[in-house]
A and B are shown apart, each in its own frame.
Chain A
Amino acid sequence: MKKLILATAVAATMGLGTAQNAMADRIALVISTLNNPFFVTLQEGAQAQAEALGHELIVLDSSNDAARELSNVEDALSRDIDVLLINPTDSDAVVSGVRTANARNVPVITLDRSANGGNVVSHIASDNVAGGEMAGEFIIEQLGGEGQVVQLEGVPGASATRNRGEGFMNAIEMMDSIELVATQPANFNRSEGLNVMENLLQAHQGIDAVFAQNDEMALGAQRALQASGLDDVVLVGFDGTDDGIQAVNDGKMSATIAQQPARIGEFGVTAADRLLKSESVEANVPVPLQLVTQE
């Protein structure tokens, strides 16, 4: 895959792309990072759909750096793209990039994370609030409506943290007999998930269920629970990464709320395709989430 991106980039810089296929529309995907399986899969989904629809897709990696993101947008615009797909590093920081594209009259579609300003034609993302609710309801059902629950939060202040947390709280607050005994940040990170879960196990006895706001933290927590011999704790992750789904199938996690990153990428390119054909595009395109449990 990396070779393919490289080849696309090289071809594009050398002008070979246009020479070989002058009719292909150019779509740029400025992606927050390719240093994370989720976004790699998103990019692969977009790439596959672009090939299927016969568009040229230029992928630029922002490495989670807002400054690089802006220069990626500028670089993409200087290559005369027709549509800009952007997966922001940060909803606020991306605004200047969106405005730059607006000024050049290139339509912008945001993927996964939204932009807090500028003119965006369409936003394509999983519904994180609904996903959090799905996790809460699954836990309530597994516990028979009663028990002590712990939540591992993502990076404080991130929109995914807020929305997943909000959905989860909506679900469990409906039940008086479900008690949230702790909610602590582990920054979407596996090793922090392990450490924080170990610490919480020291402070709380009789935890019945854990909701981790992503699979990485859930996999870390799973190590801590396993080491303490607490194999029957209901453990729910979020994202449906390869490792997460594997853990669910192995019975190490109870469930994961799977995002479908490949479909986010695919929907993005489809929306771009509709724009290029002057068809209408919804302002918000929710990409369905999936509750994945052991088969």
Chain B
Amino acid sequence: MSDLLHTPLHDLHVELGAKMVPFAGYAMPVQYPMGVMNEHTHTREKAGLFDVSHMGQVIIEGSNFETVALELEKLIPVDILGLAENRQRYGFFTNAAGGIMDDLMLANRGDHVFMVVNAGCKDPDIAHLKSNLTGLTVSEIQNRALLALQGPAAERVLGALNPMAANMRFMDVATISLAGAECWVSRSGYTGEDGYEISVPSDQAVALATELLSHVDVEPIGLGARDSLRLEGGLCLFGHDIDTQTTPIQASLNWAIQKVRRTGGDRSGGFPGADVILAELANGASQKRVGLRPDGRAPMREGVQLFAGLDDEMPIGNITSGGFGPTVGGPITMGYVPIEYTAQGTAIFGELRGKRQPLTVMALPFVPSNFKR
């Protein structure tokens, strides 16, 4: 793994006994000695600390926020102009066919936009921004780590370091001091739990992580539990549940496209693939991402083909994420099916090791979200 990049917390992960694996060009902890199942449960019950420093942190600057917002809206079909200062929102880059190039978080930081993008997409994302934005400066932040503190105890833990953290609401963003470091903190995450994402100067990241881990309620959590947590939360993983071949409407991400960007809105369209996406919003998509729960105990994973009946020859779709949900206590999956199979309770089949096994269409998320709105 010598050619892999290291995050500022690499040596700490090794010290904590993490099993390191290659992920998006980085050596990342997939699990710690506690194990995926216990790490998952600990995060749902107390708080977990995740290293997400492999993700891309990007600053986009222009003469003022309005200029930046209007330029970014040419690439991202969400309401950026209407985002209040120090508020964050989920979004995605779309392509000309209406597909998703990457999903992201963006925040109005007054005179600039702060964006967090997926590790595997950060180079193409930054190139995409640079080549399509006029009059703006796009900078990748390379001297900051990114930590996520997730779970019901996160507020208490971070609030003890700085009471301002406890006063933040879901999707608020603030610059606050934590363990002596100037941190850019958002009250968000990707586990379905309340929590924070913390951008911290690289040279202070280990000290902050160590301080957080010294709390009795905080354990380090690896990518394995991060995946089962976000799957139970019904959250999409780029490259799996969403990609350049899936539109936001097919991905059931309609909620992320505010009215102002839809047909009839003040800033309707004007983003790549708007014709496709707005038509799907009006008329519905032919297929949708849904939650699917195998009736049996055997997990079904990404790539499993879905069938309408036991004897049908042609698959109707496939599973894009799947595994065991420790909080659900059984196997859970997400996948794409034609619109006529999307009603909750619809029974379909997945082909596992040559045998058709029943699954039921379920509401997402599998585990209720616990955000502090």
Is the A/B pair a real complex? no
A interface, CB within 8 angstroms of B: none
B interface, CB within 8 angstroms of A: none
